Structure 1
Amino acid sequence: HNLFEGRIPRSLINCSKLEFLGLGNYQISDTFPSWLGTLPKLNVLILRSNIFYGVIEEPRTGCGFSKLRIIDLSNNRFSGNLPSKSFLCWNAMKIVNARRMMTYNKIPDILAGIILSNNRFVGAIPASIANLKGLQVLNLQYNNLQGLIPSSLGNLTNLESLDLSNKKFAGRIPQQLVELTFLEFFNVSDNYLTGPIPQGKQFATFDNTSFDGNSGLCGKPLSKGCESGETPTNEDHTEGSSESLFSGASDRKIILTGYAGGLVAGLVLGFNFSTGIIGWILEKLGTQQKATRRRGSRK
């Protein structure tokens, strides 16, 4: 295996046809390559498990990464606040794909994910992230984020995996999250959350491991009941839409390649769609925990 070290080659700025850049699991020591945001076709940026460091600077003029649909910066040393203005620039993640039942040849056509786990980010989750309505995976675990879980996350109606574990979030779990009917995996364990756990719909499919380490939480699936006046709001229990990304898919190989000036940067994966797209994302893009699959209605 080649062991890349040092900085990302600045010559990549000339690769105008580059769609996929995977530089995970090396020894690259650099700041966030915001200059890559000028590449007009870049869909996927994987920088996980390196030695990237520092604050992700907000764009001063214009916007970058407008075609980006998957970004994985997990297992690095990024610090500072989450880049709220950058989220506003990621236009491709704002598009809700209405063709979920169809099969595709390219991952970026159907997936949108932000994986920022295992870094040193601080502050609150910015409201701007709620504009990324096409987002399907959001993993912010193992950072130093704090504050309330924004109720605006309920606007991310395409979301299938949400991991906010091992941080310093306080307050209640927003009732609005019950409306995330595609949600397959949910983890808010090891925070400082309090009050009743929302009930109904997808929340009826999550077990206590999703909520462990929050001594102030009460209500199902935990054994701790809520006191009078803290009774969880009950919603009519309906299963999530059958148009999950797991539906109607077939087995196929995927090749993503970006090229310019003889440079090829891509990924060849043996990808089995029948095992679930979210399972692939969680394995390849940084979530360390196994996704909880949708189960049948509880009695």
Structure 2
Amino acid sequence: MEFDKFVKLKKLTALRLSYNQISLVESETSANRTFQKFVSLGLAQCNLSKFPNFLAKQDELELLDLHGNNIHGQVPKWVWNMSKESLKCIQLSNNFLTSLGQHPILLPWTNLAILDISSNNIQGSLPIPSSSTLQYSASNNSFIGKISELICNLSSLQVLDLSENNLSGPLPQCLHSFGDSLVLLNIQRNKFEGSIPQTWANGSKLMIINFSQNKFQGWLPRSLAKCITLKALDLSNNQFNDTFPSWLGGLPNLKILILRSNKFYGPIKIHSVNYEFPNLQIVDLSYNSFTGMLPVELFQNSNSSRSDRAYHLSYIQVNSSFVMKYSYQNIIFRCKYSFSMMMTNKGVDTIYENVQEIFTALDFSSNRFAGDIPVSIGNIKVLRLLNLSNNILTGHIPPTLGNLVELESLYLSQNKLVGEIPQQLTQLTFLESFNVSHNDLVGLIPQGKQFNTFENSSFEGNSKLCGKPLSKKCKYYEALPPLSSTSKKSHDSGSSLQFGWRIVMIGYGCGLLVGVTIGHIVIERKHDCLMKTFGVRQPVPRRKV
């Protein structure tokens, strides 16, 4: 469809052609034509390969949506002079832009509210929009260098997403001053270093903070406890050096706490009933140096222990809405920003682009936790993922883990666990991934249901385990359930009792052989009668599953 067809509509000020699977083309003579003054242009996903030339003469635009096209290369210089005083929303995301050209560090649109240049391949320094900006997204590009201190002027900012770039240097300390308006702060997957802002104000509206995969160091600021609306905090893959932030336990809405791959250390203790993490459901403490007992008290009062939660499909996200007052009408903008995270599942680092409200996971792996696995973990009945591998855990695997009826992944490998694998684990019908390798487990591996799907690697490194899928077959007495001891004396005599039973079995076998032989001689004449009366029943072969 040629855009020139709309030139004749002289009174047309708002044109929305987005998402109609059309290909909009511009004729060679359109640059010399006189177009009407548009206020709103929606040209998203119209297969545009460049910026339409007629935009250069538009000075009354308030909304321009070009996202999801095939626009390549550099942003034309004239874009920065387009509708300087009127433009309120410009969306250029999901194109193939590589450069903003000769742009000023402070962008010229004085009344801008929304700037979205995400998901391109833009290089160079990060532009700073005007102080009126409410939402600024420049994620998934190749911006480099430090963030200009001019960003401190964005006092009304609600959403700031600079994730997945090559930005570096220290983070401007002024970001904490955005707390009365900012709801999402996402700077993950950059090269920021130093400390994070040390002062966070009372009344902060922040709901999601993602500082993961940078080079931040030092202690966590205790003032983060003032962010009472916080839902998700991701500090993973940095170099923070601190004890466990139990002082965050008073945040009533905190659902996700991810501290993996840092330098956190020491035991985890909850010192007060006021710090009980009432809504925590995803905790990743892996690859740190935590010690002591497993911190199940994090979940004793959590809603994650309740199996009566409503099962509706919703995600952990930030909803930002505001009214945009245009010259022709008022429009309510509603934007949703979903929280994403990375966790190890099924042996692979998995990125969860959308995290369901009901998803519950514990990853305490690769620390120095010791002692028994608490029986009370079996009370977290909505748990989907449990990873306790690579610690110093001892004792038996609690049979109460069989209560985790929604569990999909269970990892207990590389500990010092003893005893048998509880038969109750066969009740976990959703279990897809299971690993108890490199412990001191003994006896018959449970058979049936999901256990028929697990490979040798799930059980290797336990020399006293036997049965499928291992090649080692169980001896008769190894497959028997353990005898219950009523006294210390009977417990100590277990080995001699086994030996005595062997003698009894040998004697029984010899007696049976002699008896059968003599009996055969005595009743030989009655053989036909006995065969007719009793017959012989062949054993039914067992079907292999």
Decide whether the 8 Å contact of 1:93 with 1:112 is kept in 2: no
Decide whether the 8 Å contact of 2:250 with 2:274 is kept in 1: no
Alignment-derived partner of residue 188 in structure 1: 436
**In 1, distance between residues paired with 2:249 and 2:356?**
16
Residue 178 (1) aligns with residue 426 (2):
yes
Alignment-derived partner of residue 104 in structure 1: 314
Decide whether the 8 Å contact of 2:361 with 2:386 is kept in 1: yes
Residue in structure 2 matching 1:65, options 270, 273, 277? 277
Deviation at 1:4, TM superposition (A): 1.2
Letter in 2 for 1:157: V
C-alpha RMSD of the superposition: 1.9
Alignment-derived partner of residue 240 in structure 2: 28
Letter in 1 for 2:464: G
Name whichever of 8-17 and 102-111 sits farther off.
Answer: 102-111
Gaps of 5+ in 1: 234-297
* 1:191-210 CA-partner distances (Å, limit 9, x unpaired): 00000000001111111111
Decide whether the 8 Å contact of 2:315 with 2:356 is kept in 1: no
Residue in structure 2 matching 1:14, options 186, 208, 226? 226
Deviation at 1:94, TM superposition (A): 3.2
Deviation at 1:65, TM superposition (A): 1.1
**In 1, distance between residues paired with 2:464 and 2:310?**
39
Gaps of 5+ in 2: 1-190, 193-214, 317-354, 482-543
Number of matched residues?
234
Alignment-derived partner of residue 54 in structure 1: 266
**In 1, distance between residues paired with 2:480 and 2:274?**
45
**In 2, distance between residues paired with 1:213 and 1:86?**
32
Residue 204 (1) aligns with residue 414 (2):
no
Go from structure 1 to structure 2 and tell me whether the alpha carbon gap of 1:63 and 1:8 turns closer, same or farther (over 3 Å shift).
closer
Alignment-derived partner of residue 87 in structure 1: 299
Deviation at 1:232, TM superposition (A): 7.9
**In 1, distance between residues paired with 2:282 and 2:396?**
25
Residue in structure 2 matching 1:4, options 216, 223, 226? 216
Deviation at 1:230, TM superposition (A): 3.5
Decide whether the 8 Å contact of 1:113 with 1:136 is kept in 2: yes
**In 2, distance between residues paired with 1:121 and 1:35?**
21
* 1:262-291 CA-partner distances (Å, limit 9, x unpaired): xxxxxxxxxxxxxxxxxxxxxxxxxxxxxx
Deviation at 1:118, TM superposition (A): 0.5
Larger gyration radius, structure 1 or structure 2: 2
Deviation at 1:62, TM superposition (A): 4.5
Name whichever of 172-181 and 59-68 sits farther off.
Answer: 59-68
**In 2, distance between residues paired with 1:146 and 1:177?**
19
Alignment-derived partner of residue 523 in structure 2: none
Alignment-derived partner of residue 153 in structure 1: 401
**In 2, distance between residues paired with 1:61 and 1:17?**
19
**In 2, distance between residues paired with 1:225 and 1:157?**
30
Alignment-derived partner of residue 37 in structure 1: 249
Residue in structure 2 matching 1:75, options 275, 279, 287? 287
Decide whether the 8 Å contact of 1:59 with 1:85 is kept in 2: no
Decide whether the 8 Å contact of 2:246 with 2:275 is kept in 1: no
Partner SS, residue 223 of structure 2: helix
Deviation at 1:133, TM superposition (A): 0.8
Partner SS, residue 451 of structure 2: helix
**In 1, distance between residues paired with 2:291 and 2:389?**
14
Deviation at 1:128, TM superposition (A): 1.6
Partner SS, residue 434 of structure 2: strand
**In 1, distance between residues paired with 2:401 and 2:408?**
12
Letter in 2 for 1:214: N
The structure with higher relative contact order (CA 8 Å, sep 6+) is 1
Decide whether the 8 Å contact of 2:437 with 2:461 is kept in 1: yes
Letter in 2 for 1:13: A
**In 2, distance between residues paired with 1:108 and 1:36?**
22
Q: With the length of structure 1 as denominator, give the TM-score of the two structures.
A: 0.74
Letter in 2 for 1:34: S
Identity of aligned residues (%): 52
**In 1, distance between residues paired with 2:220 and 2:289?**
16
Go from structure 1 to structure 2 and tell me whether the alpha carbon gap of 1:98 and 1:40 turns closer, same or farther (over 3 Å shift).
closer
